[in-house]
Amino acid sequence: MKPLSIPNYPDVIFLQKVLVEKVKICGERILKESAQLLAQNRDVVLDIATFQRVHRNFIRNWAANVNSTVTLFYVTANQNTRRARVLKRNTEMGETYSFNVPEWMFDWTESIFEPPSLDEGAIVINTD
């Protein structure tokens, strides 16, 4: 997310649209490079935000098109724990920090997120 250069505008609706488009562009780059690695018989781990089932299905279809498979890991914690971790990362700006996640962004992603359904076969890792 760091190379996305998300502007610091007060217009949340505009920023949501910008963010979605920038994440899409970044994801396309990641998938292009990953396809090249898979073609060399190398494994890849995609750390891509798949907030909804439609996004996860897109990744599954992409993998099938490059003759690969997907193992979905769903790393989760309760909402209070997630929020506290984001706020801590924002404050400490340590090794895992890439950009400030404002409260509106956290709340927005929470509102659009769809946890994987049982039929998606996700391996669930609860970090509480």
Element (H, E) at 75: strand 73-76
Please report the pLDDT score of residue 12 as a whole number. 64
Q: Where are the domains of the chain?
A: 6-126
- Report the C-alpha gap between 74 and 94 in whole angstroms: 24
What pLDDT shows up at residue 101? 84
* Residue 124 confidence (pLDDT): 96
Tell me which H or E stretch contains 125: strand 123-126
Residue 3 φ/ψ region, left for φ over 0, alpha for ψ in the -120 to 50 degree band, beta for the rest? alpha
Question: How far apart are alpha carbons 118 and 20 in whole angstroms?
Answer: 26
CATH of region 6-126: 3.40.50.300
Per-run averaged pLDDT (10 residues), the chain, 128 residues? 54 67 84 96 91 94 95 95 95 87 87 95 95
